Structure 1
């Protein structure tokens, strides 16, 4: 617990996969929104879909058009791509260029990332806008003149970070070595950039919180639905999480392939090949079912509501960052402590004085423990809870008769409920109690 790990790769990797699923779900929702008519009905003829984790991170498909999408989250500390080599390598443009070549230059491409651009990559982004504008206007793409130096530098970066590109280019009709891009190669790069789009996406630390409002609310507005966007978002993103692990429907299960390629059989058709990839594909129909199911049964997808606790002890511990289990234990120990002294005070006239001595000792322990764990910024309630128990363990021999560590901890919980012990900086506890009781529909 005290030794920091050299890295946190496992958790970060899981976060990155989740971020990719979120961004793919955003694409799916955009395709879905575009396919809805003015009355919120899905256009049956629209066969748009998303193919996950086959070419790049996903491919968006509509009719005969395809867009290869690479999603890169280098981290908030990364800042920006500042060199063409980092853009081609860390940014994945080298791999994306190779996939584009394999698709015979017919697909558009997009990089979704949280990193910005500076230096030569920023200049390249400006060139992308220029070349795309010329392509859309039906004009000739110019790879010489003022663009030639930048395209050459980017071509050299691609040669370093696009597997097999040097061999492919050296066998080009130009007959030149792949060490330096030829004029024909620069023209090819210009075609790629004219079909490329750079998209800044939200960071993984907050995208899941912002996603319902950013990605789902426009869809619900078109559907004229007032259900919580969070419920619909959970339904849709769960769909993409499964498909990105190839965990979609498999009608034949694990049954073996039998008599698939008999004599005289022809090569599989495109439709047959796509059917085999069904576990990786999200269709508009899939999204429609997920959304309308979430609208019909929003509670089934919404995050479960939190328990609204109204005791002063529970509120203080929650504000301090204590776990639900710690709060439940504290409430039980407080009741056990009350029961103990209720019986003793009723039967022993000296018990009240003993109870006062114990209260003073517990307040001293609380004061010492708070001084050890209190921090000016982060929550320290959970640390205080552990420190109080540790100090009571050390002083167990000085506790009154019939009083163990748990009961003494219950005494500290009782003091907290009486606003003598805090698990965070002090606040207006009575106002918060009234707010929570109103939330639960209780009287004041």
Structure 2
């Protein structure tokens, strides 16, 4: 068999990790960026009839080697999405671009895929003047590659290229064989190392200036769906098209898409005489991560037929710490409503209990130590769950029911114990997701309301 294409390498090569969601906001922003890429592929594929040309074989594969991969035939582009807050700002050093910017991870995956894909990093902020010197280098190298000329590094660009090579040594966890590992006194890059970095830079792009997640909700439809609506001469609000397409990507980014065979086993999958599967066969096992042009077309046509059905309704957002933290864990509104009531009932119970009872405070402290242990057990049991919040909510209730606590004050039942978990959540001692800046999240909600949104 001949050399594999970039698409075959993408599907055949195992990835070293398969991380789940960090926070709801992170996945929503990344899903939006992937949806924008999908809409661009869809727009480029439209024929004169306004439908995707059957000759175009494009798709987005989510959470494979990188945040997603854009695939067109056998060509592959790996995409890493890095949201940067206002307080973080642009990438100020080549080291920060390699580490926090994910370029070192991109390099490792590009090498593992036999240098076959192109690579792109999308982010909210750009590059400082120091890092722009490296940007000019990769732009020049890309021009040379596209013109099919030798990849020659000028004296002007030699230092930033060498600096990137040193940064990759420090931050790439899967360095190519033969590379000098990171050390306190690193030797100068070898010619072979520099040549490989030059080849990588020739296929690298950094796309900055993406909207911050706080603004994305209000800007995404006009930025990404309106060009399609204008092209198709649609009079509908682009919000409905954006909502329909975004929902697909959000599901695929969380690996929640449909699998035709469900959980049925792979019977006779490796019978004698079977050969290495081709790209199309391999993709069947990744259907829950793939968004095809047909998927996008169906979403767009549905939004056109039912524009009001896809327009998101304004959602009441509670701004208590308990509600914001449960929302981040994707708990449903009814669970949040119940949790708010139980937390208040728990507070009322102990207010009455401590009235004239000097020992009540010590009992409450002892109980809350037990509740923290229960929450820790529930967290450990649900770390792999996506989303984590509902699974944590169920597990806590199960553990409370199966772990009776002796010597409790009369009237402190299982519901009030659950209220204790909710009260500890309000105190930021229990989480329904990975931890985050709750005060900043509440401020963002208030700021959105203040703008009349």
Q: TM-score range by the shorter chain?
A: 0.5 to 0.7
Ranges in structure 1 where 5+ consecutive residues have no aligned partner: 1-10, 172-176, 308-444
Q: Kindly indicate whether the alpha-carbon contact (under 8 Å) linking 2:59 and 2:290 is maintained by their aligned counterparts in 1.
A: yes
Deviation of 1:229 (Å) = 0.7
Aligned with 2:50 (options 40, 54, 67): 40
Matches within 5 A, 1:108-187: 108-143=118-153, 145-165=155-175, 167-170=177-180, 179-187=187-195
**Worse-superposed segment, 268-277 or 20-29:** 268-277
Aligned to 2:198: 190
Secondary structure, aligned partner of 2:64: coil
Tell whether the 8 Å contact from 1:142 to 1:187 is kept in structure 2 after alignment: no
C-alpha distance after superposition, 1:173-211 (max 9, x if no partner): xxxx98432112212111111111110111111112111
Q: Decide which moves more: 37-46 or 285-294.
A: 37-46
Contact 1:159 1:179 in 2 (8 A): no
Q: 1:279: Cα distance to partner?
A: 0.6
- Alignment gaps of 5+ in structure 2: 1-20, 317-453
Q: Which protein is bigger by CA-based radius of gyration?
A: 1
Aligned length: 293
- Is residue 272 from structure 1 mapped to residue 278 from structure 2 by the alignment? no
Counterpart of 1:209? 218
Ranked by relative contact order (alpha carbons within 8 Å, sequence separation 6 or more), the top structure is 2
- After TM superposition, the score normalised by the length of structure 1 is 0.63
Residues 138 and 201, structure 2, Cα contact 8 Å, conserved in 1: yes
In structure 2, relative to structure 1, the CA distance for the partners of 1:140 and 1:114 (3 Å cut) is same
Distance in 1 separating the partners of 2:269 and 2:100: 41
CA gap of 1:178–1:265, structure 2 versus 1, over 3 A, is farther
The within-5 A match list for 1:268-417 is 268-304=277-313
Question: 8 Å contact 2:59–2:70 — kept in the other structure?
Answer: yes
User: Counterparts of 1:113 and 1:305 in 2: how far apart (Å)?
Assistant: 28
Change (3 A) 1:277 1:166: closer
The change in CA–CA distance for 1:12 and 1:95 in structure 2 (over 3 A counts) is closer
Q: Is residue 2:85 matched to residue 1:75?
A: yes
Counterpart of 1:253 in structure 2 is 262
Partner-residue secondary structure (3-state), 1:61? strand
Alignment deviations for residues 130-164 of structure 1 (CA, whole Å, 9 cap, x no partner)? 11111111221113633222211110000000113
Q: Determine helix, strand or coil for the equivalent of 2:214.
A: coil
Deviations 1:357-396 (A, max 9, x none): xxxxxxxxxxxxxxxxxxxxxxxxxxxxxxxxxxxxxxxx
Partner in structure 2 of residue 52 of structure 1: 62
Label 1:215 to 1:278 Cα distance change in 2 as closer, same or farther (>3 A). Answer: same
User: What residue number does 2:26 align with?
Assistant: 16
